[in-house]
């Protein structure tokens, strides 16, 4: 870890301790108010809501003793080591122990202290018992209510650090209304949300293509109970299977194809480059040719910001897929081919959000590659809504989306730790593991350079006018290269030569 990383970590640790002390101080103040109300309520119940013989002033003086004993009991039983939002059934013995301990001490004071000079610190037995019950209910009740409230307001979308903006407009409804729509990768996070929005958006029939049996089962089961009017048809098929896909396209005759199937995990594709090239680039191109022959009117491919000046194998295969697919537009035909680039989707399989959630559940460490790592994030609903808006534009081009400001991964990790009720760097450590092969510190979307895009009819959808290298790639060249079963290093060199930015 670099000195800068050590310094940042130490600063964040100090900040976490400050927040810890402030929250615990606030907890003490709230608990003090609950103690006072419980004690006052105990006297009121004991005296039938009449003023006690000793007077309310004596009651207030005696509360100082009650407060000291009850606060000490909370500290001794470790109640302040548990954040309110993290209270569990297993923590209840702590609070029960604090109530019993304080009740025992106050009863002992009543027995041992003289009735004369020390009478003002000796609450009556009955008041002590009533107070214990009221205080115990308030003590646990406040924490349970707070936990329920915090769980209700916890939402991955809050991690965006911006308001979510969407959604589907008239152009999308017009594109879908009464149509048969085929969705590839329908069992994935993005593909599944495409199925949901398309089915709700007026499509007559949604053909769900997915090669994973379990993923297809889950989306099919969900859509059967979704109450949508569209017929959702599960098709367990691999998009690379020519005979299967040709039969499916000939039978269903889809008007729109939304292509979400791809290998997306950067480390996995980096380790298996030939499979990434076959699945992401070549299979996409072949599917596009079959769709054109089947009379599909619109084909939209889900691309990625990693295709912009790509350095990873995954990014390069997606850039090559863009080039090969858009090349079909020049060959004529009734099909309009387009691609939509966007960044990371919160909570999608393989993203950092489920990984961080798992690490936090085990109390860390949470692993972040670099303190300066930034990524664009969207909720899956927002991303898919904008993908459909881009597809409805009808252009034969690459679209990119306005995803707001990028989020630092370390800030995301800290926010998730706090959402879980822990203190970053104190309860849950964060460690920096180093940038992995194929990763960039900052992904680009092209919309930061005004010359690289032009606006469309939608405020958050742009046409990318400078998509990057790769315009000279010939499909037959890729077909022949893949057929030769090249080595992993040969695949990387092939992709770098055709898509990666020149040094």
Give the span between the Cα atoms of 255 and 464, in whole angstroms: 25
Among 179, 264, 306, 374, the active-site one is 306
Angle, vertex CA 113, rays to CA 93 and CA 36, nearest 5: 50
3-state helix, strand, coil in the chain (%, to 5): 55, 10, 30
Q: Which residue has the tokens 């990524």?
A: 375
Q: Which residue has the tokens 């999308």?
A: 172
Contacts of 179 (CB under 8 A, 6+ apart): 203, 204, 205, 254, 255, 256
- Contact in structure between 314 and 443 (CB atoms under 8 Å): no
Structure tokens at 235: 């098709």
In the residue annotation, 440 being an active-site residue is answered as: no
Give the span between the Cα atoms of 189 and 349, in whole angstroms: 7
Phi-psi region of 11 (alpha: psi -120 to 50; beta: other; left: phi over 0): alpha
User: For the range 269-275, what are the long-range contacts, defined as Cβ-Cβ under 8 Å and sequence gap of 24 or more?
Assistant: 269/312, 269/313, 269/314, 269/317, 269/438, 270/312, 270/313, 270/314, 270/436, 270/437, 270/438, 272/488, 273/313, 273/317, 273/488, 273/491, 273/492, 273/495, 274/482, 274/485, 274/486, 274/488, 274/491
- Contact in structure between 388 and 356 (CB atoms under 8 Å): no
Please return the burial class of 276, using the count of CB atoms within 10 Å of its CB with bins 0-12, 13-18 and 19+.
buried
Give the span between the Cα atoms of 37 and 35, in whole angstroms: 6
Structure tokens at 487: 């080595």
Q: Which residue has the tokens 């949470």?
A: 366
Angle between helices 488-499 and 313-330 (to 10 degrees): 60
Please return the burial class of 461, using the count of CB atoms within 10 Å of its CB with bins 0-12, 13-18 and 19+.
buried
The dihedral built from the CA positions of residue 413, 417, 419 and 420, taken in this order, carries a sign that is positive
Please list the active-site residues.
306
């Amino acid at each position: 870890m670099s000195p800068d990383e050590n310094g940042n970590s130490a600063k964040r640790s100090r900040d976490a301790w400050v927040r810890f002390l402030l929250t615990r101080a606030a907890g003490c103040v709230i608990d003090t108010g609950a103690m006072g109300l419980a004690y006052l309520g105990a006297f009121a119940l004991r005296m039938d809501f009449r003023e006690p013989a000793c007077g309310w002033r004596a009651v207030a003086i005696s509360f100082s003793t009650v407060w000291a004993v009850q606060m000490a009991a909370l500290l001794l039983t470790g109640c302040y080591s548990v954040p309110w939002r993290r209270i569990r059934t297993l923590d209840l013995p702590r609070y029960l122990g604090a109530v019993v301990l304080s009740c025992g001490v106050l009863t002992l004071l009543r027995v041992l202290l003289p009735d004369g000079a020390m009478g003002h610190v000796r609450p009556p037995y009955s008041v002590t018992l009533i107070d214990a019950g009221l205080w115990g209910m308030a003590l646990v009740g406040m924490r349970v209510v707070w936990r329920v409230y915090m769980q209700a307001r916890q939402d991955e979308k809050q991690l965006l650090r911006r308001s979510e903006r969407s959604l589907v407009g008239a152009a999308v409804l017009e594109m879908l209304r009464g149509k048969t729509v085929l969705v590839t990768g329908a069992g994935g996070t993005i593909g599944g949300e495409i199925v949901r929005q398309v089915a709700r958006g007026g499509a007559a029939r949604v053909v769900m293509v997915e090669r994973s049996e379990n993923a297809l089962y889950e989306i099919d089961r969900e859509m059967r109970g979704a109450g949508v009017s569209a017929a959702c048809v599960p098709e367990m098929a691999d998009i690379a299977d020519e005979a299967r896909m040709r039969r499916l396209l000939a039978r269903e005759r889809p008007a729109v194809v939304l292509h979400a199937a791809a290998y997306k995990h950067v480390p996995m594709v980096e380790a298996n480059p030939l499979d990434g090239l076959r699945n992401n680039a070549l299979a996409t191109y072949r599917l596009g040719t079959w769709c054109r022959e089947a009379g599909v009117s619109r084909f939209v491919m889900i691309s990625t910001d990693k295709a912009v000046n790509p350095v990873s194998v995954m990014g390069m295969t997606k850039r090559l897929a863009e080039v090969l697919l858009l090349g079909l537009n020049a060959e004529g035909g009734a099909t309009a081919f387009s691609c939509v680039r966007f960044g990371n989707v919160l909570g999608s399989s393989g993203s950092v959000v489920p990984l961080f959630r798992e690490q936090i559940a085990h109390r860390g460490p949470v692993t972040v590659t670099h303190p300066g790592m930034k990524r664009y994030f969207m909720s899956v609903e927002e991303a898919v809504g904008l993908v459909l808006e881009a597809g409805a534009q009808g252009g034969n081009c690459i679209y990119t989306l306005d995803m707001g400001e990028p989020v630092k991964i370390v800030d995301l990790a800290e926010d998730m730790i706090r959402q879980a009720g822990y203190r970053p760097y104190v309860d849950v450590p964060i460690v920096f593991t180093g940038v992995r092969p194929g990763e960039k510190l900052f992904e680009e979307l092209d919309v930061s350079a005004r010359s690289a895009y032009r606006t469309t009819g939608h405020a958050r959808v742009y046409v990318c006018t400078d998509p990057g290298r790769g315009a000279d790639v010939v499909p037959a060249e890729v077909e022949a290269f893949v057929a030769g079963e090249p080595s992993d290093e040969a695949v990387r060199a092939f992709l770098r030569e055709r898509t990666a930015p020149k040094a």
